[in-house]
Amino acid sequence: MGAGHGHKLHYHGHSWLHRAPAHLKLLALLAFMLLVVATPRLWFPVFGVYLLVLCALVASSGVPPLYLLRRLVVEVPFLVFALVLPFVASGPRTEVLGLSVSAHGLLGAWGLLAKGTLGVLASMLLAATTEPRALLAGLERLHLPTQLVQIMGFMIRYLDVVTEEMRRMQVARESRGFRARNPKHWPVLAKSAGALFIRSYERGERVHLAMLSRGYDGTMPR
Amino acid sequence: MTPPPVLDLDGVAYAYPDGHQALYGVNLQIRPGERVALLGPNGAGKTTLVLHLNGILAAGAGRVRISGLDVTKATLMEVRRRVGVVFQDPDDQLFMGTVREDVAFGPMNLGLRGAELEQRVHEALSAVGMADYADRPPHHLSFGQRRRVAVATVLAMRPEILVLDEPSSNLDPASRRELADILRGLDVTVLLVTHDLPYALELCPRSVVLSDGIVVADGATIDVLTDDALMRAHRLELPFGFDPHALRAQVTARHR
């Protein structure tokens, strides 16, 4: 929690993509996602075009490709699912590298992989080129209900605080010789999660008190 | 005619909904321009008392008046403008995306907009030496900086009395001194709620000791801290090496 570090997903820069209005970027992302999802998965070359477009955008944004690739790990659970799909799906079988797999499953896996990766990559690019605050302002300009925008604002503000609290609790647990090695230790983790929830809830109440003390009357001043 | 006290508590008593009685009739008056320390052991009812000052809690018995204005549901907004409370954890106080927005939150609730708002924000941030950080997100600041911004969020409402809950807690000695310099430089009545007895002596000519929900002492800070029997009776312990007896001459000269 030192001074001056940026948000974890944001990559500081001054490219045209960084400077573009956030609400336009959001709309572009939404349109792109819809397009990708609506594309039949057998149109292989079209997916190549999508990827090329994204790569061109990444190149012009000045965000190092490796920076984005490393953050693609959030996709891993879906990838695992996609890899399992050809083996568990039913229907006619084909041979791939000497393994018998379901043709349906293989196609399903490809679809998941291609659409998922394109979607995640595009979202990462948006996050890397847009500050969280600008993103919220963009959502507001798109007339998302202010209450939702406020909730997201609070989330961004307190994410670091709660993460830090969680880390401190972990350090305190481990300092007393605890390590979660097997399912027998899960009750301890569950209790920690419960404690973290209660602490966050109480912090929420204290924040509310502090807001009331400054004349908050239930609506954000605008 | 002398102006009414900024803060006037008359027989304030309060019991929490679960039956726990925290305050048993507190009497306290603070005159404009005073800097007063509110001392007391953990669980003495200090925080409960603070929450009465701006109407977050309503006294079960007794009366709270701010510059002659009774604290009631109808006067809540004006009371909260007059009484600025700075809470202990700056992360509770700072919740907006940037320092500027956070400092603007209070004055905006008072209906200020445009250039006047801008002016208030700048004035408050300058007063705590944080004007250069207006566009930074609060969670990127150091703890001491966040505490100072928390003070600014309340100053921006131009309160008549500034109430600080444990302002020196978790600060390193340099930040602690910087905050003291800032507080001393402010032209506002201050109520400092603290366990930090040297800090109280440094900043506040007068001290009030709250213990078990009543005021047990009210006088010059140096007299309170050197009253060994009183201090012992109410679990107020001086930090190692700190001897207020030896500081009497110096303190009297400073507070004169």
pLDDT score, position B255 = 66
Using DSSP's 3-state secondary structure scheme, residue A19 falls into helix
pLDDT score, position A6 = 45
Using DSSP's 3-state secondary structure scheme, residue A188 falls into helix
Mean pLDDT, rounded, of chain B: 92
How far is A46 from B99, CA to CA, in rounded Å?
A: 46
Calculate the alpha carbon distances from B147 to B56, B60, B97 in Å: 22, 32, 16
Please give the domain boundaries of chain B with CATH numbers for all domains: 7-255 (3.40.50.300)
pLDDT score, position B53 = 93
In A62-185, which residue ranges form alpha helices assigned H by DSSP? 65-71, 76-88, 103-129, 132-141, 146-175
In this complex, the residue of A3, A210, A216 whose CB is nearest that of residue B92 is A210
Instruction: Give the pLDDT mean for A144-172.
Output: 85
To 5 degrees, how large is the angle CA A79–CA A82–CA A83? 90
B91 shares contact with chain A (CB less than 8 Å): yes
Asked if pLDDT for residue A109 goes beyond 50, the answer is yes
How far is B219 from B223, CA to CA, in rounded Å?
A: 7
pLDDT tens readout for residues A9-21: 788 878 888 888 8
pLDDT tens readout for residues B229-238: 999 999 999 9
3-class SS shares of chain B: helix, strand, coil, % to 5:
45, 25, 35
pLDDT score, position A3 = 34
Instruction: Give the pLDDT mean for A111-138.
Output: 88
Q: Do A3 and B145 touch (CB under 8 A)?
A: yes
B151 shares contact with chain A (CB less than 8 Å): no
B117 shares contact with chain A (CB less than 8 Å): no
Instruction: Give the pLDDT mean for A63-87.
Output: 83
**Of B238, B208, B231, B234, the residue nearest B49 (C-alpha):** B208
Instruction: Give the pLDDT mean for B197-206.
Output: 95
pLDDT score, position B1 = 61
CA distance A82 to chain B (A): 38
* A167-181, A204-218, B47-61: least confidently modelled range: A167-181
Q: Strand B7-15 to strand B61-66: parallel, antiparallel, or no bridges (unpaired)?
A: antiparallel
pLDDT tens readout for residues B130-186: 999 999 988 889 999 999 999 999 999 999 999 999 999 999 999 999 999 999 999
pLDDT score, position A137 = 86
Which helix (H) or strand (E) covers residue B151, if one does? Answer: helix B143-155
pLDDT score, position B103 = 93
To 5 degrees, how large is the angle CA A103–CA A108–CA A110? 95
B109 shares contact with chain A (CB less than 8 Å): yes
Q: Do B97 and A214 touch (CB under 8 A)?
A: no
8 A C-beta contact, residue A102 and residue A90? yes
Beta bridge partners of B190: B35, B162
CA distance A78 to chain B (A): 32
The residue behind tokens 């999802």 is A37
8 A C-beta contact, residue B109 and residue A216? yes
Greater confidence (B205 vs B253) lies with B205
B72 shares contact with chain A (CB less than 8 Å): no
Asked if pLDDT for residue B221 goes beyond 50, the answer is yes
The dihedral region occupied by B224, where left means phi > 0, alpha psi between -120 and 50, and beta the remainder, is alpha
**Of A3, A213, A220, A134, the residue nearest B150 (C-alpha):** A213
Greater confidence (B96 vs B204) lies with B204
8 A C-beta contact, residue B118 and residue B132? no
